[in-house]
Structure 1
Amino acid sequence: MNTIDAQHHTALATAGWTVLPRLIRSELLDSVVEALGPSLALRDEIRHRNGVLENSAGTLHHLLMDDPCYVELLAQLSALEPIFKGYFEGNFVLNSYGGVINERDSRAYVQNVHRDIRFGSDTRRFMVNALVMLDDFTLENGATHILPHSQNMLEQPTDEHFYAHASRATGERGSILLFDSRMWHATGRNTTNAPRRALTLTFTSPFFKPQLDYARLFGYGNLGRCNAWMRQVLGFNARVPQSLDEFYVPVEQRFYQRGQD
């Protein structure tokens, strides 16, 4: 782990959050922004059909295979591998891959004070959030509120306490906000006329069930084009065999590889 990675690791372990500036190149960000509109329309149509549209404005879930740009962006996050391995003290997998389009005065559940994992441990960390800033994050357009050192605060703080003591995760487009998923946080209110967009990914210990079967969504037929990072993060090293023939194979061919604890 280099000096800069070590600084971010220390910030995660103490304050509980850190921002890595300008990690993703502009051309890839442009492609993701262009893809978000159709992705949101698809999800809104499904939510409307299934009667679950309420309080979900601008939220998107499980974007991975909507467009090649989402896969490419996940591949670019391999730059975070040393920080993640330090945080988890071992391997990890993708747990969720979502996004948020925060419009002026929009309302969605992510604007409530919340945390993304309801339990923790003094000896082990189970989940980390990675928020990719697709636009500049400013105080005016809804930069995330995050309460420093709240990873061990079991009871939800009152809104008055939270907003009085929370920091704002501002940053330039292409930056990444990393935070311990036990942190109390909330999406800020956008008071500008331009959308404030982000991708919201979470990573967990490999034995956690992902929110969607990303390995199957990505497809076993595409496994040949995965490097070691993508194979690990998509969960191909932490699969469950479904037959004795899949169970009794050489070690290197096993679904559940060593080190996935």
Structure 2
Amino acid sequence: MKTYIEHFLTHGYVLLPNLLIEEECRHFRTLLDANYQQYSAHYANASSTTGTLSDKSIEKVVFNLHNKSMDWFKLFEHPDILDLLDVVLKQGSYNNNEPYYLNNISARCPLMGNQGQQLHLDSGLPGVNYCLKVNVVWLLDDFTASNGATRLVPFSHTWTEFPENGTQHPDEILITGQQGGALIFNANMWHGGGPNVTDASRWALLLGYARWFIKPSFDFMKNTPEHIYNQMSYAQKQLLGFQLAPPKDEFTRLRRISSVPEQPVPYKLP
């Protein structure tokens, strides 16, 4: 693991191979296809000036997998992933020990004809001294040059600017690999999905882990069914940040981090 951590800190990314077997990948793909069929018609509309990042018409996407199956926690809290995150997402904090949490959970499968994504970064703030957020991309299918594998620009996690819209970078590389691996990279890194010119499946689980003070993509306190929450272990509740909800007022709590995970509000999936 030390070698993987060093590669991540230097290059901004690392690929961990062979974490899942083929049968496990098939199981998770089956879950995603079923979830997409069941819920995609209910999605809210998105609009943005970022073009390819907001256009979901030529890809399948599933969000908030924590509220659909406990099976996903096998990947959320995979020990090899957390061993790396325990270093890079605590580095520079008080005593190198302040918490991080899983603040974004989704999965994506580009369809045939998808032209790929605009290069972008996910931290929202380029050029900071320490890693604020880490993206973990689980390869649930093989990633190939023709089915939309992820493009990265190595060392770009240290740059202080955003990529220009509609451009490629001469130093970008394509991350290909067999199903069952996990690509881990600093969310400051310039990256984007590649074009898919095949009709093959290319599901990827997309997880974002962030330092505790960074806002999540969705409010887990408001979208977690009680029966799911009650199945979570104490560590799983912490991983999803149920102790990080800000206090309602000064009469409830004074610190932004609670001493114990808090109960989410009632919620049911559509």
**TM-score (ref. length: structure 1):** 0.81
Contact 1:246 1:254 in 2 (8 A): no
CA–CA distance in structure 2, aligned partners of residues 44 and 241 of structure 1: 33
Query: How far does residue 79 in structure 1 lie from its aligned partner after superposition?
Result: 2.8
* Of 21, 41, 47, the match for 1:45: 41
Contact 1:104 1:195 in 2 (8 A): no
Query: How far does residue 27 in structure 1 lie from its aligned partner after superposition?
Result: 3.2
Give the equivalent residue in structure 2 for 1:79: 80
* Alpha-carbon distance change, 157 to 189 in structure 1, aligned in 2, over 3 angstroms: same
CA offset digits 1:176-218 (Å, max 9, x no partner): 0000101111111122231211111101001112111225533
- Indicate the SS of the match to 1:151: helix
- Indicate the SS of the match to 2:125: coil
Matched, 1:180 2:180: no
Task: Give RMSD over aligned pairs.
Answer: 2.8
Contact 2:139 2:204 in 1 (8 A): yes
Query: How far does residue 172 in structure 1 lie from its aligned partner after superposition?
Result: 1.2
Contact 1:28 1:73 in 2 (8 A): no
* Alpha-carbon distance change, 115 to 252 in structure 1, aligned in 2, over 3 angstroms: closer
* Of 63, 69, 78, the match for 1:67: 69
Letter paired with 2:62:
L
Letter paired with 1:82:
D
Which structure has the highest helix share of the two? Answer: 1
Give the equivalent residue in structure 2 for 1:259: none
Letter paired with 1:81:
L
CA–CA distance in structure 1, aligned partners of residues 75 and 125 of structure 2: 29
Moved over 6 A (4+): none
Letter paired with 1:190:
N
Give the equivalent residue in structure 2 for 1:206: 212
CA–CA distance in structure 1, aligned partners of residues 3 and 165 of structure 2: 31
**TM-score (ref. length: structure 2):** 0.78
Q: Which stretch shows the higher mean deviation, 182-191 or 208-217? A: 208-217
Give the equivalent residue in structure 1 for 2:239: 233
CA–CA distance in structure 2, aligned partners of residues 41 and 224 of structure 1: 26
Contact 2:238 2:261 in 1 (8 A): no
